[in-house]
């Protein structure tokens, strides 16, 4: 099987952890231990988040007095791809001796006309009190919004249209290599009036990029790995219920937070609707079991897994 896996930010930096390199490197090694069994049996593409890392680099850049202006988000995204890609590359090589592994710097094409550029919604970086957030917004030309009781910077999050290096990733897979790519959703770029690629100040949702890439690579399965074992209907309420096997239509009928589970649900629904394939959302440690259909929230056109089986479980838990 050809499998695309999207690692959530928790795979690199868990809530409350110090963002030291050693801490993140240790977390990457643990993540690779869960993914290595998949790589031994299947063609594997690994994508990853970069939210905490790009936020940290943005703060460092803004505080650097030697710069006339902070580095833009496309450049910061490229920096995090190199850093996290290196950790994953090395850990995979150690876990899979003799297997070729490539960590690839990727660009993700977005539309210059995407309405997201006029309405930034993606929270990045730390939280502030309102007065400080408004001061920073005026000084640095930021857009800020309330995030619960605090305020944070928001940047545009345009819809991914294509991973520019898709053909190269396909070539790597055909050679038997494990490909690490599209980190942080990919470096966001547009084509200018001369058809040239140029970076833009934005971030792309990593799960939507993973779904797009999985479809373009003719993948058999898409796994979104996070810090919960299943998608939960009515999360945080007395009626909360984990969702087992389901369909895109049933998932779309539910309500999920736009800043957390919502993009993951949209990503798996898009992939299954476009390809008729299999997608799942679940915990990192359950990755092999998710591919076997025995863990996570499993999404197929009919709600069965395997799709030709007779066990139509609906939304069973």
Return the active site residues.
Answer: 9-10, 122, 206, 264
3-class SS string, 53-120? HHHHHHHHHHHCCCCCCCCCHHHHHHHHHHHHHHHHHHHHHHHCCCCCEEECCCEEECCCCCHHHHCC
Q: C-alpha 7: how far from its chain's center?
A: 6
Count CB atoms within 10 A of the CB of residue 199. 16
Nearest to 102 by CA among 3, 181, 30: 181
Query: How far apart are alpha carbons 53 and 11 in whole angstroms?
Result: 12
Q: Yes or no: say if 292 and 237 are a contact pair by the CB < 8 Å rule.
A: no
Query: How far apart are alpha carbons 112 and 134 in whole angstroms?
Result: 27
CA separation, residue 311 to residues 87, 102, 306, 308 (Å): 40, 38, 8, 9
Query: How far apart are alpha carbons 297 and 224 in whole angstroms?
Result: 10
Nearest to 13 by CA among 39, 34, 31, 1: 31
Placement of tokens 């440690």 in the chain: 285
Count CB atoms within 10 A of the CB of residue 39. 19
CA separation, residue 63 to residues 137, 145, 307 (Å): 14, 21, 53
Nearest to 140 by CA among 72, 239, 54: 72
CA separation, residue 255 to residues 54, 93, 250, 258, 279 (Å): 28, 40, 11, 9, 19
């Amino acid at each position: 099987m050809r499998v695309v896996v999207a690692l959530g930010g928790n795979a690199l930096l868990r809530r409350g952890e110090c963002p030291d390199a050693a801490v993140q490197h240790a977390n990457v090694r643990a993540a690779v231990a869960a993914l290595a069994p998949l790589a031994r049996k299947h063609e594997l593409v690994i994508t990853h988040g970069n939210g905490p890392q790009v936020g940290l680099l943005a703060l460092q850049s803004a505080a650097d007095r030697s710069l006339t202006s902070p580095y833009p988000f496309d450049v910061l995204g490229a920096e995090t791809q190199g850093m996290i890609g290196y950790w994953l590359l090395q850990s995979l090589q150690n876990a899979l001796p003799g297997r070729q592994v490539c960590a690839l710097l990727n660009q993700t094409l977005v539309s210059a006309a995407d309405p997201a550029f006029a309405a930034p919604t993606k929270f990045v970086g730390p939280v502030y009190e309102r007065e400080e957030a408004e001061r920073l917004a005026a000084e640095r030309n930021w857009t800020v919004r309330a995030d619960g009781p605090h305020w944070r910077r928001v940047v545009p999050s345009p819809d991914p249209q294509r991973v520019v290096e898709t053909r190269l990733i396909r070539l790597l897979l055909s050679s038997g290599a494990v490909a690490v790519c599209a980190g942080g959703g990919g470096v966001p770029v547009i084509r200018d009036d001369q058809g040239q690629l140029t970076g833009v100040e934005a971030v792309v949702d990593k799960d939507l990029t993973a779904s797009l890439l999985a479809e373009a690579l003719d993948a058999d399965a898409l796994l979104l790995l996070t810090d919960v074992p299943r998608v939960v209907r009515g999360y945080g309420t007395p009626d909360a219920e984990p969702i087992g096997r389901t369909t895109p239509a049933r998932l779309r009928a539910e309500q999920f937070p736009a800043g957390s589970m919502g993009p993951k649900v949209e990503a798996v629904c898009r992939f299954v609707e476009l390809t008729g394939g299999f997608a799942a959302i679940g915990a990192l440690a359950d990755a092999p079991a998710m591919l076997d259909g025995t863990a996570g929230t499993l999404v197929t056109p009919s709600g069965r897994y395997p799709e030709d089986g007779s066990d139509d479980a609906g939304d069973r838990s």
